[in-house]
Structure 1
Amino acid sequence: MTRLQFTRRRVVLGAAAAVGGSWVWPAGAQDGDIIVGQSAPLSGPVAMAFQPPLAGERLALEEINRKGGINGRRIRLVLLDDAYDTQRTVENVRQLVEQEKVVALTGLGSTAGVAAILPYIAEKRVPLVGIYTGAHVLRLRHHPYLFTSQASFKDEVEHQLRTLVTLKMTRVGVAYQDNEFGKLMMPVVEAAAKELGATLVASAPLAIDGSTSVQAATALSQARPMAVLLIAVGPSVVGFVKAAKAGLNVPIYSLSVAASAVPALGADARGLAMTQVVPYPWRLVHPMARDFHREAAAADVPVNYNSYGGYLGARFLIEALRRAAPNITPDNIVRAIQGIRGWELGGNPLNFSPTNHHGSNWVEITIVGPDGRFLR
Structure 2
Amino acid sequence: MKNVRLLCAAGLLAFGAVNAAAQILIGQTAGMTGSVAASVNETIGGAKLVIDAVNAQGGVHGEKIEILRMDDAFDVKRASENARVLIEEKKVVALFMSRGTPHSQAIIPWLDKYDVALIGPSTGAMVLHKPVQKNVFNVRSTYQREAEKAVQHLLTIGMTRIGVVYVTDSFGQDALEGAMAGFKKAGATPAALAPADREKPDYASIVPKLTAANAQAVVWIGSGLAVVDGVKALRAAGSAAQVVTLSNNASSGFIKQLGEASSSVIVTQVFPNERSIGQPMVKEALSLARAKGQNELSPAALEGFASAKVLVEALRRAGPKPTRARVVAALDTIRNYDLGGLEVSYSPTDHSGIDFADLSIISDGKFKR
- Counterparts of 1:224-239 in structure 2, within 5 Å, are 224-239=214-229
Partner of 1:282: 275
Q: TM-score, normalised by structure 2?
A: 0.90
8 Å contact from structure 1 (residues 33, 75) kept in 2: yes
1:360 is aligned to 2:351:
no
Partner of 1:84: 74
Q: Structure 1 residues 346, 169: CA separation in 2 closer, same or farther (over 3 Å shift)?
A: farther
Q: Offset of 1:66 from its aligned partner?
A: 0.6
2-side partners of 1:266 and 1:346: how far apart?
A: 33
**Partner AA of 1:277 in structure 2:** V
1:33 is aligned to 2:27:
no
Q: Offset of 1:37 from its aligned partner?
A: 0.5
**Partner AA of 2:283 in structure 1:** R
SS at match of 2:144: helix
2-side partners of 1:338 and 1:126: how far apart?
A: 13
**Partner AA of 2:327 in structure 1:** I
Q: Offset of 1:44 from its aligned partner?
A: 2.7
Q: Offset of 1:159 from its aligned partner?
A: 1.1
Correspondent of 1:325 among 319, 322, 339: 319
Q: Deviations over 1:163-220 (max 9, x none)?
A: 2232232332112234443244334433442244331121223455776335422221
Q: Offset of 1:335 from its aligned partner?
A: 2.4
Correspondent of 1:262 among 255, 262, 265: 255
Partner of 2:4: none
Q: Offset of 1:268 from its aligned partner?
A: 2.1
8 Å contact from structure 1 (residues 210, 235) kept in 2: no
8 Å contact from structure 2 (residues 270, 358) kept in 1: yes
Partner of 2:233: 243
Partner of 2:335: 341
8 Å contact from structure 1 (residues 209, 235) kept in 2: no
1-side partners of 2:282 and 2:177: how far apart?
A: 36
Q: Offset of 1:317 from its aligned partner?
A: 0.9
8 Å contact from structure 2 (residues 164, 220) kept in 1: yes
**Partner AA of 2:247 in structure 1:** S
Q: Structure 1 residues 65, 273: CA separation in 2 closer, same or farther (over 3 Å shift)?
A: same
2-side partners of 1:21 and 1:163: how far apart?
A: 42
1-side partners of 2:348 and 2:186: how far apart?
A: 31
SS at match of 2:347: coil
1:162 is aligned to 2:152:
yes
Partner of 1:14: none
**Partner AA of 1:373 in structure 2:** K
Give the count of matched residue pairs.
Answer: 360
Partner of 1:108: 98
8 Å contact from structure 2 (residues 147, 176) kept in 1: no
2-side partners of 1:110 and 1:42: how far apart?
A: 12
Q: Structure 1 residues 244, 345: CA separation in 2 closer, same or farther (over 3 Å shift)?
A: farther
Q: Deviations over 1:81-132 (max 9, x none)?
A: 1111111111111111111111111100021121122133112111111101
Partner of 1:75: 65
Partner of 2:290: 297
2-side partners of 1:140 and 1:28: how far apart?
A: 36
**Partner AA of 2:274 in structure 1:** P
Q: Structure 1 residues 350, 168: CA separation in 2 closer, same or farther (over 3 Å shift)?
A: same
8 Å contact from structure 1 (residues 125, 331) kept in 2: yes
Which deviates more from structure 2 when the two are superposed, residues 330-339 or residues 105-114?
330-339
**Partner AA of 2:36 in structure 1:** V
Instruction: Flag structure 2 segments of 5+ consecutive residues without an equivalent.
Output: 2-6
SS at match of 2:277: coil
2-side partners of 1:183 and 1:49: how far apart?
A: 21
Which deviates more from structure 2 when the two are superposed, residues 214-223 or residues 232-241?
214-223
2-side partners of 1:284 and 1:320: how far apart?
A: 26
1-side partners of 2:52 and 2:312: how far apart?
A: 11
Q: Offset of 1:65 from its aligned partner?
A: 0.5
**Partner AA of 1:252 in structure 2:** V
**Partner AA of 1:159 in structure 2:** K
SS at match of 2:190: strand
SS at match of 1:357: strand
Partner of 1:63: 53
Instruction: Flag structure 1 segments of 5+ consecutive residues without an equivalent.
Output: 2-16
Q: CA RMSD in A?
A: 2.3
**Partner AA of 1:142 in structure 2:** V
8 Å contact from structure 1 (residues 37, 105) kept in 2: yes
1-side partners of 2:335 and 2:158: how far apart?
A: 38
Partner of 1:373: 366
1-side partners of 2:159 and 2:298: how far apart?
A: 29
2-side partners of 1:304 and 1:176: how far apart?
A: 25
Identity percentage of aligned residues: 33
Partner of 2:307: 313
SS at match of 2:355: coil
Q: Offset of 1:281 from its aligned partner?
A: 1.0
